[in-house]
Structure 1
Amino acid sequence: MAEFEVAIRDGSERAIRSILGYVEAVNGAQAERLHEIVGTEKS
């Protein structure tokens, strides 16, 4: 999860969308945390 957080902070828009989509499919609670980091709402 820590690696996803780094990638979210430093990634391109496409990478961020991909990571968020994957994490949303696997673990909603973790996806919410990543959305907080990015400043977006969970889809």
Structure 2
Amino acid sequence: MGGFEEQLKERAKELKHLVKKGVKVVGESCKKTWHKVKKIRG
């Protein structure tokens, strides 16, 4: 039973890492899009 919990912890770590990566990527693309929008409006 302990092995299963360990696997869950590892999964959680990986998920957190992926989420952080995803947030960073999304943030970058949002910034780029925002700059384009500002240029068009400006």
Q: TM-score, normalization: structure 1? A: 0.36
Please state which structure has a larger fraction of its residues in helix: 2
Max radius of gyration: which structure?
Answer: 2
Q: TM-score, normalization: structure 2? A: 0.37
Q: Which has the higher contact order (CA 8 A, sep 6+)?
A: 1
